[in-house]
Structure 1
Amino acid sequence: MSEPRERLRPISGGALTGWGVVGLVGGWLLHRVAESWRGTAPVVTWLQPLALLLVALIVGGTAWATWRSVQGRSERLEPHRAVNRLVLGRACALVGALIAGGYAGYAVSWLGMSGDPLAGQRVLRSAIAAVLGLSICGAGVLLERACRVRDDDSGDVT
């Protein structure tokens, strides 16, 4: 008689939404708190969105390579590599949702502030960074899904 095997479930949409909401509130509060403490809010430069783009490309490339080797060519990953990629995918999905929410909240906090000359710039760059945070989240989910393999005994996906 074989002992029951635990299965790891894919990350839930609820968890990603929760992290996104926390980021949204945090990003909105950052504007208010920074202005009250320092007298000025942080500036979003092009470096932040470019760094997020780089991370999204790396995680997306890893997801593609993993999917191609595991699903396409039916190769087996070494167990420690599979776990590393699974953990990387989950972490990137959660952090990507947090980043997307944070930048979206920061962008929303600047809407309607026509008196500040940098408001439009902050909204645009924060919105772009939020979209790139979502792309990191999506790439992380794809990487996690790429690590799934069929169980030899039952044919189930694990």
Structure 2
Amino acid sequence: MIDGPPEREDEEQERVHPGRLRPTSGAALAGWALVGLVGGWLLHPLAERVRDTAPIVTWAQPLALLLVAAILGATAYLTWREVHVHQQRLDPRRAVNRLVLARACALVGALMAGGYFGYALSWTGVDTELADQRLSRSLIAGLAGSAVVITALLLERACRVRSDGDAV
């Protein structure tokens, strides 16, 4: 009998605990943030070449991201209170919906934060009329995108339930 390659720890965990989801990895978040950073940084020179003007960041963008972060934060708090304080089980569909929402918002939030930080970075050292405004609003939008990531990860953590084998 020929033995195959040794099993990885992930496969072993999957056999022991089927159907268990892992938390969103820091590597995935960093990867999406890096893609956003490069994209945001490239947006400024490409837009000026194509349209002769770079996009303006209005207050609507950071406010929309802050609204998403507030909704995620409230959902995380209510979920945590329901699962961990009141010791109630979530309906499986609701739990999966919240986990999918949390993961999607964490990844998109990282992309948006990186994009706005990259766009802000492209305006450093530029001396034009709206450069300071674009730089400051992009930084604020990047921080709001980071708030989306943090609250999404809090929601994901709030959905965690202890299994019988977990220690206190």
TM over 0.5: yes
> 3-state SS of the aligned residue for 2:89?
coil
Superposition map of 1:5-154 within 5 A: 5-6=17-18, 7-114=20-127, 116-152=128-164, 154=165
Q: Distance in 2 between matches of 1:10 and 1:47?
A: 31
Q: Distance in 1 between matches of 2:40 and 2:166?
A: 44
Runs of 4+ deviating beyond 3 Å: none
Q: Distance in 1 between matches of 2:167 and 2:39?
A: 40
Q: TM-score, normalised by structure 1?
A: 0.93
Spell out, residue by residue over 1:50-85, the C-alpha distance to the aligned partner (whole angstroms, 9 max, x if none): 111111100111011101111111111000000000
Q: Distance in 2 between matches of 1:52 and 1:26?
A: 18
> 3-state SS of the aligned residue for 2:71?
helix
Q: Distance in 2 between matches of 1:9 and 1:88?
A: 15
- Identify the residue that residue 6 of structure 2 maps to in structure 1: none
Q: How many residues align?
A: 153
> 3-state SS of the aligned residue for 2:17?
coil
> 3-state SS of the aligned residue for 1:113?
coil
When the two chains are superposed, the root-mean-square deviation of aligned CA atoms in Å is 1.4
Q: Distance in 1 between matches of 2:167 and 2:48?
A: 54
How far residue 8 of structure 1 moved from its aligned partner, in angstroms, is 1.2
Unaligned runs of 5+ in 1: none
CA radius of gyration, larger in: 2
How far residue 4 of structure 1 moved from its aligned partner, in angstroms, is 3.7
Percent of aligned pairs with the same residue? 63
How far residue 156 of structure 1 moved from its aligned partner, in angstroms, is 6.5
